[in-house]
Amino acid sequence: MSARMKSRLEVTGIYAVIAVMFIIIFYPLLWTFGLSLNEGTNLYSSSIIPKNLSFEHYIWLFTDPASNYVTWYKNTLIVAATVSIVATFFVALTAYSFSRYRFRGRKYGIYTFLILQMFPVLMGMVALYILLNTVGLLDSLLGLILIYLGGAIPMNAFLVKGYFDTIPKELDESARIDGAGHFSVLFKIMLPLAKPILAVVALFNFMTPFMDFLLPSIILRSEENFTLALGLFNFVNDQFSNNFTRFAAGSVLIAVPIATVYLLLQRWLISGLTSGATKG
Amino acid sequence: MQNERALSHNNKQSRHSVRLAVLLSIIPGAGQWYNRRWIKGTILFLMAAAFIISFFQFISVGLWGLRTLGTIPGLDDSRALIIQGILSLFLIVVGAGFYIFNLVDARQDAVKISEGWILPSVKDAFKNWWDAIFPYALITPGFLLLIFVVVFPLLFMILLAFTNYDRYNAPPGNLLEWVGFENFLNIINVPIWRETFISVLSWTLVWTFVATTLQIILALVLAVFVNDERIKGKKLIRTVFILPWAVPAFVTILIFAALFNDNFGAVNQGIMEPLFGQSVPWLTDPLWSRTALIMIQVWLGFPFVFALFTGVLQSVSKEWYEAADVDGGSKLQKFQFITLPHVLFATAPLLIMQYSFNFNNFNIIYLFNEGGPAVRGQNAGGTDILISWVYELTFQNNMFNMAAAISLIMGLMIAAFAILQFRRTKSFQEEG
């Protein structure tokens, strides 16, 4: 009897903790959603449950001539798609080389990648800024894409190499005996088998430009080149209380698709990461 | 034909001198000609000639620039000269590597020929060359990008740390000069820099350790709770717990900045005022700002670790717990001796990455209140960590030399940590 009481108390306790966590997690998110439906731009008079439900901020984002929201969305998509495709391709090439070939300098190559992945691209921001300025790529999406690409390679190459290492070597050896060349082993055997980790790499690189604020803030100067993160930050940074409802509306439109993708793929992302990292 | 050639070589083999092949290779390609590898020799010779013709001028200007940083103010841009200097050093390294390859190659072929090796046909030679070069060709595009986006800026930054490039002395109007370790000595000797550096560094370390550890503890507790077999609705609960990871962090940080606003934020209005009868200066008092930042980071960071732990927990075999039950182990003992080691072992590398992530977590510091509030006697804000301080020094104060010096110190810390860390990982040991 007392054991049952104890068990029941424990379960209640656990549910209580979960309930508190639910409130802490949901409150800020619902508050933002509520704000985005408020009339006017005044944070003081806005409330989580709008007195007058209104979509004016959403309409403003898409239709007002002063709004660059659609352009920012387009910029972000361009950067994200390019980075995702090109980075995944380069990463796969690099990982294939490190995983399947034994060549002089291989070990040092791997060490270089391992150590460089610890340095954030940001460490060289002084240099990046001056460098891009000198070659005229400041305030351009191309400059941003190049830097995302360079930063993405070491870390991801290592993840993918770890995954490639788990694919039995006998597979490509037998293909070689059948006359397959370097590239056909890569494209017909390795890449199809490594689809899960490649998808993880592609997805993470696609998401980065949606989430990153810092690099765009260093590189991009004019409003029509902004990515979403930078543009939305300026909504709240210019006059804090004035545009917060508009920021809320813009944020909801990013957060909902991204969160959906993450929640749908979470199991997959986690297993890809753990397998790559622990085996890598 | 084949036989004839082999025969003629067999006759010659004693006369083929390895030493002569290497000596001739002082002129790239000549040794290969001597080895009768005409095409390879010609290609090497042409490449060497092209390299010298196109880059000699560039490299000599680059090296001169690196030494002097320019001599005519307004005309010589020291920054461009440093960039050209670094490029020149790269080119020299590439050229030297090429030259050594040329010597080694001539020697190898000559040795093989003197041992009676039959020269391959052009087609075979090409195929061998392709096989040997292929792994390098694969890593070249990634490596080039890495060099230009990561290595090159890091080198540039290292060099800047030894110049006097600040807001009072900025190119192209002025020339830069090498100042040796002056910037580093300033961090030690000038009170304002010293105090700021010590306070920012200690907060960075506290921040990294406390925020990340709390994240991990909360994630562990929740993962174990939700994994309890008596709890229903696991799927829903887990989905909700992962939500903060799924929403872009810059959005949530800005939302929290508004929620923690001293005057109208919901935290003060809805929690602190009614419960404690006073509001807390979350954004204007350093200590409270730091507290708020740690709480927000825990909110942002625990879901990822929670998801990792949940995955591992589900893979722990039930038999272990049943065996513990037979031996009369308590819940706490089961947690301590089965769950905890299992979970930590499986996720260690990713947990360590969480620490290094927070060490460099610029976003939350800058977006919350731009590293503020300002502190007297310091040129960094109360919540600035090293990386956000460097950002402000660079883009707001234009103190490039100090920013670079501090980045360099940070880089050394990261490198030391990275080497220590990777020595322990399995793959490093396997490769080493």
CB contact under 8 Å between B139 and A280, yes or no, is no
pTM: 0.85
Helices (H) and strands (E) in chain B, counts: 21, 0
Write down the pLDDT at residue B432.
38
Residues of A in contact with B250 (CB under 8 A): 211-213, 229, 232-233
Residue A51 clears pLDDT 80, i.e. is over it: no
Q: What are the pLDDT digits (tens) for A28-44?
A: 999 889 888 888 766 66
Q: Give CA–CA dist A145/B415, Å, rounded.
A: 26
Among the partner residues A134, A214, A258, nearest to B83 by beta-carbon distance? A134
Write down the pLDDT at residue A1.
58
Residues of A in contact with B239 (CB under 8 A): 263, 266
pLDDT confidence of B14, banded at 50, 70, 90? low
Nearest CA in chain A to B237: A18
Q: How many CB pairs under 8 A join A and B?
A: 256
Using alpha carbons, list the distances in angstroms from residue A246 to A26, A250, B247, B250, B354. Answer: 20, 6, 18, 15, 33
The one-character DSSP state at B27 is S
Residue B219 resides in a domain: yes
Residues of B in contact with A119 (CB under 8 A): 150, 154, 411, 414-415
Residues of B in contact with A25 (CB under 8 A): 240-241, 243-244, 299
The one-character DSSP state at A39 is S
Residues of B in contact with A157 (CB under 8 A): 142
Q: Between the CA atoms of B285, B286, B290 and B293, what dihedral angle is there, to the nearest 10 degrees? A: 60
pLDDT confidence of A279, banded at 50, 70, 90? very low
| Residue recorded with tokens 């872009």 | B248
SS3 A66: coil
Site from A114, A118, A166 to mutate, B interface, most B CB atoms within 10 angstroms: A118
CB contact under 8 Å between B243 and A263, yes or no, is yes
Q: What are the pLDDT digits (tens) for B360-385?
A: 898 899 999 888 788 887 888 889 99
CB contact under 8 Å between B367 and A124, yes or no, is no
Counting Cα atoms < 13 Å in the Cβ hemisphere of A17 gives 15
Q: Are residues B191 and B126 in the same domain?
A: no
pLDDT confidence of A239, banded at 50, 70, 90? low
Tokens of A157: 């190459």
| Average of per-residue pLDDT across A128-154 | 88
The region of weakest confidence among A50-64, A70-84, B133-147, B277-291 is A50-64
Q: Are residues B155 and B275 in the same domain?
A: no
Residue B329 resides in a domain: yes
Question: What is the phi/psi pair of residue A114, to 5°?
Answer: -60, -45
Write down the pLDDT at residue A275.
65
Domain that holds residue B390: 184-431
Write down the pLDDT at residue B78.
87
Residues of B in contact with A21 (CB under 8 A): 222, 240-241
Q: What are the pLDDT digits (tens) for B178-197?
A: 999 999 999 999 999 999 99
Question: How many domains, in total, are found in chain B?
Answer: 2
Among the partner residues B156, B307, B432, nearest to A270 by beta-carbon distance? B307
Residue B146 clears pLDDT 80, i.e. is over it: yes
CB contact under 8 Å between A214 and B363, yes or no, is yes
Q: Give CA–CA dist B183/B201, Å, rounded.
A: 17
Find, among A72, A70, A23, the residue nearest to A48 by Cα. A23
| Average of per-residue pLDDT across B72-85 | 86
Residue B262 clears pLDDT 60, i.e. is over it: yes
Q: Are residues B25 and B101 in the same domain?
A: yes
Please tell me which residue, A90 or B12, carries the higher pLDDT value: A90
Question: What is the separation of C-alpha B197 from the centre of its chain, rounded to a whole number of angstroms?
Answer: 22
Residues of A in contact with B432 (CB under 8 A): 107
* B245 close contact with A: CB closer than 8 A: yes
Q: What are the pLDDT digits (tens) for B287-335?
A: 999 999 999 999 999 999 998 898 888 877 788 888 888 888 888 888 8
Could you list the beta-strand ranges (E) of A48-101. Answer: none
Residues of A in contact with B219 (CB under 8 A): none
Q: Give CA–CA dist A231/A72, Å, rounded.
A: 7
* B345 close contact with A: CB closer than 8 A: no
Residue B402 resides in a domain: yes
pLDDT confidence of A241, banded at 50, 70, 90? very low
CATH number at residue B308: 1.10.3720.10
Q: Are residues B138 and B209 in the same domain?
A: no
Residues of B in contact with A147 (CB under 8 A): 149
Find, among A88, A95, A89, A113, the residue nearest to A163 by Cα. A95
Q: Give CA–CA dist B23/B30, Å, rounded.
A: 9
Residue B203 resides in a domain: yes
Q: Give CA–CA dist B251/B248, Å, rounded.
A: 6
Q: Give CA–CA dist B310/A274, Å, rounded.
A: 12
Q: What are the pLDDT digits (tens) for B407-418?
A: 999 988 888 887
Q: Are residues B189 and B156 in the same domain?
A: no
Residue B302 resides in a domain: yes
Please tell me which residue, B230 or A48, carries the higher pLDDT value: B230
To the nearest whole angstrom, how far is the Cα of B15 from the nearest Cα of chain A?
Answer: 31
Site from B250, B259, B347, B364 to mutate, A interface, most A CB atoms within 10 angstroms: B250
Write down the pLDDT at residue A46.
66
Tokens of B152: 């090159």
* Cβ neighbours of residue A63 closer than 8 Å, sequence gap 6 or more: none
Q: Give CA–CA dist A55/A49, Å, rounded.
A: 14
In contact, B160 and A138? CB cutoff 8 Å: no
Q: Give CA–CA dist A118/A207, Å, rounded.
A: 20
CB contact under 8 Å between A22 and B391, yes or no, is no
Tokens of B368: 């919350």
CB contact under 8 Å between A43 and B142, yes or no, is no
Share of chain B above pLDDT 90, in %: 33
| Average of per-residue pLDDT across B81-87 | 90
Question: What is the phi/psi pair of residue B396, to 5°?
Answer: -105, -40
Q: Give CA–CA dist A209/A77, Å, rounded.
A: 8
| Average of per-residue pLDDT across A92-108 | 90
Question: What is the separation of C-alpha B26 from the centre of its chain, rounded to a whole number of angstroms?
Answer: 39
Please tell me which residue, B273 or B152, carries the higher pLDDT value: B152
Instruction: Please give the span between the terminal C-alpha atoms of chain B, in angstroms, as a whole number.
Output: 48
Share the mean pLDDT of chain A.
85
Site from A119, A147, A256 to mutate, B interface, most B CB atoms within 10 angstroms: A119
Does CATH number 2.40.37.10 belong to domain A68-279?
no
Residue B10 clears pLDDT 60, i.e. is over it: no
| Diameter of chain A measured on Cα atoms | 78
Among the partner residues A29, A97, A131, nearest to B83 by beta-carbon distance? A131
Residue A226 clears pLDDT 60, i.e. is over it: yes
A64-98 burial by CB neighbour count: b if 16+ within 10 A, else e? eeebbbeebbebbeebbebbbebbbebbbbbbbbb
Residue B168 resides in a domain: no
ipTM over 0.90: no
